[in-house]
Amino acid sequence: MHFGGYHQDSKFIPNEYAHGNQIRQALLEEKLVPPPPLPPEAFIDAVAEKPSLALDKADRDWSKMDPAFVQDVLRVMEKMKARGFPMVLLEGFRSAERQNRLAGGSVKVTQAKGGESKHQYGLAADLAPVRNGKVVISERDPWAMQAYTALGEESKAAGLGWGGVWSFRDYGHVERAGSLRALLAHKNK
């Protein structure tokens, strides 16, 4: 408060609020841009490793996802790269039809049916680490598991949910935290 310059309390002087720098940074923070897509050759080993994922049919179009969620994922990807684990988007938006195919196949890829997954609403992404220009998705690969563990740590720090803690483990899956019902209710306000 300013009383004509008398009796100033430093807690109330503009630009000296305790969280002023954080607020200013959030307002000035630049929007991150998704990285360019990897060439199809980068996915060959991943497609062969897990054909049930049908990665050749996965949608990697960042623009179909919720813009605020995309920014969260891109920030996590920056932190992962700084830790030595560059990441790639395996799949973002997923149609209800594709979701049903993945849930109903002979090899269970997901337990969620169409409309039950945050992928259908642009609030989930599947990521994988990239080593030497190739996507690595095998949990049997120690380096990839280190990357997935780091992804869990960075996702949690960013306030995102991570599929690596589920009973049906999905190590590359990150999503907006909270129930789908609550997220959709909030989004529709």
Q: pLDDT (tens digit, 9 = 90+) per residue, 146-183?
A: 999 999 999 999 999 999 999 889 999 999 998 888 88
Domain segments of the chain as ranges: 37-187
Spatial distance between the Cα atoms of 163 and 175, rounded to a whole number of angstroms: 8
Answer whether 0.85 is exceeded by the pTM.
Answer: no
The DSSP-derived string for 100-113 is HHHHHSSS-S-SPP
* Fold exhibited by the domain 37-187: Muramoyl-pentapeptide Carboxypeptidase; domain 2 (3.30.1380)
The DSSP-derived string for 147-165 is HHHHHHHHHHHTTEEEGGG
> What are φ and ψ of residue 55, in 5° steps?
-60, -25
pLDDT at 138 over 80: yes
At residue 141, the pLDDT reads 95
Q: pLDDT (tens digit, 9 = 90+) per residue, 117-130?
A: 999 999 999 999 99
Spatial distance between the Cα atoms of 184 and 182, rounded to a whole number of angstroms: 5
Q: pLDDT (tens digit, 9 = 90+) per residue, 31-61?
A: 999 999 999 999 999 999 989 888 988 999 9
At residue 11, the pLDDT reads 52
